[in-house]
Amino acid sequence: MSALPQRRPVALVTGGRRGIGRACCVALAGRGFDILAADIAEEGAEETAALVRAAGGRFAFRRLDVARLEEHDAFVQAAWQDQGGIDCLVNNAGVGAMQRGDLLDVSPESWDRAFGVNARGTFFLTQAVARRMLEVPPAAQPRSIIFISSANAQLASPDRGEYCAAKTAVSMLARLFALRLAEAGIAVHEIRPGVIRTDLTAPVAEAYSRRIAEGLSPIRRWGSRRMWAAPSPCWRRATCPSARVTRCTSTGVCMSAASEPATPGAARMTDRRLHFEEIEPGLEWTTGGIQVTEAHLLAFAGLSGDFYDIHMDDTYAQALGYPGRVAHGLLGLALADGLKNRAQTQLAAIVSLGWRWRFTGPILVGDRLQATIRVVGLRETRHADRGIVTLAFALRTQRGDTVQEGENDMMVHRRAPRA
């Protein structure tokens, strides 16, 4: 294994020669890390090395079978000797089910393989790295541990039960290590990829493409490794000493899990909202959804005084060519603002400064609305402690129709005043 000649922050990425692991290597290299990739084989490592170098990082590779616990101590010792330490551990190595099929046909071999790599091996490698991290005093460079689990840590897929169970175990590992390492200032994160195009999903790509088109996920497209390599607040927070546990949805947007109930003595959480200097143009997220009901229309009509027939009378609306009553346009805008305020991604907002908005289609009773929000502008203000963020909205129905769209200017706190 080649040594890295000068000490910079180093990230160890298991399963780093291809797929999500490769994308993690490139993303971290773009953030100033040198990379130590570990994998069971070398095939593909040279391509990862070239991408890491192109992103500005240095690259070293060492073979490691995560499931072979007897290899861990020597591997970690070599990493500290050759690289001078590990600042970020990305637990990405994993395997799927040996064969998809009936849950009642899962073999002990497939079960043991899934748990041996995904859970058992990951636990003991993290234990070995964490012990070494704790042997040295905290440095100026924040330290972090990242667990790549899966959406199947929550979503059950009976045709690969052993994989779901193992990834659920990985999710718990993230919580356990977060609590254990909090006092040492070591941030611990869990990221749950959805359906990502990798070698692991290649054998079932056709089936997943069909299911995605049928509505498997709210955003009807595959996830790609390019999403992982794009700069985003996720990776900044992955090396943030104030962070403890985060989860990422398949859209790549982080959500805090550390505010959920924990054991007594767990670290108190800091403000997890995104502040002005942490927000980047192009950041995008999708909100939860809300179903428009007759009660919404009646309540909004009572508040606004707008009892126009198209909102109140199905027969009148049908005579105009609509399937039934049409929701007030401003009700749609209000619901979009509410979806923003309840989204997993939150900005440290002070006040909304205004909206530029268009109604592009009817909202009907029974429609389920969901908003996609993207940062399209940032500008300074005369106040050193705040800035203005411009958000572009697309409000869509369950049919995929964009029924409203526009922009919202928000004044947002800085985490630290501008010098």
Catalytic residues: 163
Strand, helix or coil at 126?
helix
Distance CA 147, CA 193 (A): 11
CA dihedral for 180, 182, 184, 188, sign (positive or negative): positive
Closest to 265 (Cα-Cα) out of 176, 172, 177, 183:
183
- In eight-state DSSP terms, residue 117 is I
The length of the chain, given as a count of residues: 419
Task: Specify the amino acid at residue 5.
Answer: P
**Token digits of residue 348:** 């440290």
CB 39 within 8 A of CB 63: yes
Q: For the chain, how long is the longest CA-to-CA vector?
A: 78
Angle at 248 between CA 247 and CA 250, to 5 degrees: 145
- In eight-state DSSP terms, residue 228 is H
**Chain centre distance of CA 75:** 29
Closest to 93 (Cα-Cα) out of 201, 157, 17:
17
Distance CA 165, CA 111 (A): 9
CB atoms within 10 A of CB 265: 8
Contacts of 6 (CB under 8 A, 6+ apart): none
Which CA distances in Å does 124 have to 10, 96, 116?
20, 19, 10
Task: Specify the amino acid at residue 13.
Answer: V
Which regions of 9-166 does DSSP assign to beta strands (E)? 10-14, 34-39, 59-63, 88-91, 143-148
Distance CA 114, CA 161 (A): 10
Distance CA 47, CA 59 (A): 11
